[in-house]
Structure 1
Amino acid sequence: MPRPSCPRCLRPQAHCLCPLIPHLPSRTRVLVLQHPSEVDHALNTARLAALGLRNAELVVGETFENLEVLLNRPGHRACLLFPGEGAQVLGAYAPAQEPMLLVVPDGTWRKAKKMLHLNPLLAALPRVTLDGAAPSRYRLRKAPGPEALSTIEAITQALEVLEAPANYQPLLKPFDALIEGQIAAMGEQVYRRNHHTQ
């Protein structure tokens, strides 16, 4: 019989993260496009990010029929947070600058690239990227490189750059607890053997 889960954070009831999830305001609107394979992943950080921000939306899919509607938010200019040729490094908003609709694909690099391929509107968006991002605290997933961040970390860092000096670190509290809980569940020895690189 499956363990009862929290309907909001989708974690097992005994490990509900809701008390740690903030409710932060932002000028930036965040749209997370989550690949279906990520929904049931134990480390679903995109959901935590969307729950922790008042001005965020999470949409699950591989192709998005209503993408034009999702990207057309009055008062916001849509940009894709994804590295690549021509990507502009994010900087703080100028005082009168129109805020972004920050579109964030959530999935492995391969799946995120496939989402762009299947959704030409998405691929056509101006791209933005982080410069000198802080190293990832995501100690449980093998990343393609040291600059690779989890979705919640990328969103946190992007907002802190755009909306400086605002502090979005509370967004990472449930993420840190999630990682610690997973390490505790697998046991220190298994974690050290499989994930610890020091």
Structure 2
Amino acid sequence: MSRIQCERCLRPQAHCLCPLIPSLASRTRVLLLQHPSEVRHALNTAKLAALGLRNAQLRVGETFDDLAPLIEVPGYRSALLFPGEDARPLAAYTKDPDQRPWLLVVPDGTWRKASKLLHCNPLLAALPRVTLAQVLPSRYRLRKAPAEGALSTLEAVVQALNVLEAPACFDGLLTPFDALIEGQIAAMGRETYERNHVRPIADKAAPPQ
């Protein structure tokens, strides 16, 4: 028998995160394009970002036939939050001569799935790219990062907004994320977590080869 889910956060009702999800206003608009494989993922961080931001939208799919009106919104300048050779580091609005707010398009999925979203949607791939000039360490303790500096979708959005809209802080979006991580650790047991997900201190201190 399947567990009853919360229709909003998609978590089992006994572990509903909705009381922890804020409702934050932002000048920046965030469009999250989620690969279908991520929808039922236990750690669906794009969903948390969409629920916690008033000026955010979540769309699920692999090919988006209606992408143009989603990314060409009057009054906004659109960019893809994704690494690339020509990616421009984000800076606070107060330091940018172009005062139009950003519309940040954020692909959500594994690196391979996110790259496929770009391949399947030429308009998406054609957008100018922006990145974080400085990436803070990830709090995603349950998954090995594919590369140094890798973040969950929610963490990337939070760090981007903290840069753009400083001194405003969007760390409140991470409250349900932290609770979700702690719940997963509790479910597997602390011993199992430490055995499989915590690197020994000696490994952390070891210099790169």
TM-score range, shorter chain: over 0.9
- Output the amino acid matched with 2:77: R
Q: Is the 8 A contact 1:82 1:127 kept in 2?
A: yes
RMSD: 1.0
Corresponding position: 1:32 with 2:32: yes
- Output the amino acid matched with 2:11: R
Matched residues in 2 for 1:126 and 1:51: separation? Answer: 26
Q: Is the 8 A contact 1:135 1:146 kept in 2?
A: no
Percentage identity across paired residues of the two chains: 72
Matched residues in 2 for 1:109 and 1:146: separation? Answer: 13
Partner in structure 2 of residue 185 of structure 1 = 187
Partner in structure 2 of residue 114 of structure 1 = 116
1:52-92 alpha-carbon deviations (Å, 9 max, x no partner):
00000000001100000111111111100000110000000
Q: Is the 8 A contact 1:20 1:173 kept in 2?
A: yes
Q: Is the 8 A contact 1:3 1:12 kept in 2?
A: yes
* TM-score, structure 2 as length reference: 0.93
Q: Is the 8 A contact 1:9 1:47 kept in 2?
A: yes
Deviation at 1:134, TM superposition (A): 0.6
Matched residues in 2 for 1:43 and 1:53: separation? Answer: 18
Corresponding position: 1:20 with 2:20: yes
Deviation at 1:190, TM superposition (A): 1.2
Q: Is the 8 A contact 1:80 1:128 kept in 2?
A: yes
> Aligned with 1:73: secondary structure?
coil
> Aligned with 2:68: secondary structure?
helix
Partner in structure 1 of residue 47 of structure 2 = 47
The number of aligned residues is 198
Q: Is the 8 A contact 1:88 1:127 kept in 2?
A: yes
- Output the amino acid matched with 2:3: R
- Output the amino acid matched with 2:106: V
> Aligned with 1:33: secondary structure?
strand
Deviation at 1:146, TM superposition (A): 2.6
Partner in structure 2 of residue 6 of structure 1 = 6
Q: Is the 8 A contact 1:136 1:146 kept in 2?
A: no
Matched residues in 2 for 1:30 and 1:167: separation? Answer: 16
Partner in structure 1 of residue 80 of structure 2 = 80
Q: Is the 8 A contact 1:34 1:59 kept in 2?
A: yes
* TM-score, structure 1 as length reference: 0.98
Partner in structure 2 of residue 134 of structure 1 = 136
Gaps of 5+ in 1: none
Instruction: Please point out which of 163, 166, 170 is paired with 1:164.
Output: 166
Matched residues in 1 for 2:16 and 2:74: separation? Answer: 35
- Output the amino acid matched with 1:156: V
Matched residues in 2 for 1:178 and 1:69: separation? Answer: 34
Instruction: Please point out which of 151, 176, 179 is paired with 2:178.
Output: 176
Gaps of 5+ in 2: 201-209
Matched residues in 1 for 2:197 and 2:34: separation? Answer: 25
Moved more, 147-156 or 90-99: 90-99
1:92-134 alpha-carbon deviations (Å, 9 max, x no partner):
0138600011000000001101110111000000000001211
Runs of 4+ in 1 over 3 A off after TM superposition: none
